[in-house]
Structure 1
Amino acid sequence: MLIIRDFSNRFQQISGMPINSKGGKDMLKRAGIDTNSKQYQAVMKSMSAACSGVGYTNVQAIKNRMSRYDKDGDYISPVTGLAGLVVTEKNRAEKNRIIDIPESSRDEMFELTKKEFLQENGVGNGDTTRRSDVYLNLYRKMDKNDRLAAGNTLRQYERAYTQAFVDAVKAVDPKWEPGKPIPSGALDGITRESIDNSLVQSGGSLVKKPSSGSTLDIQV
């Protein structure tokens, strides 16, 4: 048994071996655990924070937890199998950037947004939407360190597409509201390219160019 943190020498003697002692480190080394690795350091940080005092563990438990982190000590999501999607102190300032994302991802989001807008008469339905699939496909295309910023950028485009559809419907029926039937053909002629070309970066957001009509602020 290994102690993550101890209160006293006496407690060590009766409860187990301190994990940071020479004996504890030798035990981990024999088990093939590199105590200098960022994976190990990330595990120790998370376990120490969780136990808030004295915590007990064993070699296999440490190995299991290390498998949840990549070589840089970044958490790997069990849902997506990807790292770089958890906001930390290290990447907090980077998550709201606007960056270049693949055109294929913008196409995918435009087509899905249009399809669901028509199906739901402009009402967002969190129970049936497939938005998460589009984001996951994007994350898989991006470098780990750009995934949060890529998600922020795609959200900006998604909101711009939705707003463009709302504006188009209201141009046909000024009294239209989400939930009411959408006039046939109201979205005909709207292209993803035309919307993208109407946007300009403003800090961590995308907004409509002044020449594109009323200023559209689509901040997250």
Structure 2
Amino acid sequence: MTGSAARRAAFITFEGIDGSGKTVHARIAADRLESRGISVVRTREPGGSEGAEAIRALLTDGGLERWDPIAETFLLSAARVDHCRRVIEPALRRGSWVVSDRFVDSMFAYQGAGRAVPPALLQTMVSHSVGDVMPDLTVICDVGVETADARVQLRNRDGGGVPTRYEQADRALRQRIRQGFLDHASLAPERCVVVDTAAPQDAVAARIWSVICERLGVDDGQD
């Protein structure tokens, strides 16, 4: 095990609107961590555990109005409890790092800024669902809504996918969600780093890796 692998396990989350590149960059970061001999658990929200994945299926299908915003918040929180207790907490206890595609910041952006769920309720739900499990580093993948939309359309066309509930939403709502991520990140600068993911993928990945090395003490060696 390398020196960087022997350090305290860390929890990294990737956030952003659909089409921001967060999923790709979470994968790239996890690959690079593993190349340093670090044990990594890759996960996502909503989902990540058997129970949470069942709830994810409820949340991603249908139109945006399928769920009342409050009901949606409670479903997401139920999924997060299961995810934290069954996947994230055990991984960190055994010394594995965790890289998650979405976590609590998405709730403040989507349900808060996007659908006007009161911040006090969101904070209460987050506090009860995660306990002491909060990320050591959150990478906010930021890109304009128009660019993100084009990426989502290309992905669905090439992959045979269908738009999810929020991908079907109007552009004004998606813009509120994007701004929600930026606003929430500004409240936690010690944890959140905003990265412009409109740049070429290699350049973005290099920037994110630099942040991980600087903030979490990973050896910035050559792959």
Q: Identify the structure with the greater helix proportion.
A: 2
Q: Identify the structure with the greater strand proportion.
A: 2
Which of the pair has the greater relative contact order for Cα pairs under 8 Å at 6+ separation?
2
Q: Which has the larger radius of gyration?
A: 1
Q: TM-score, normalised by structure 2?
A: 0.23
Q: TM-score, normalised by structure 1?
A: 0.23
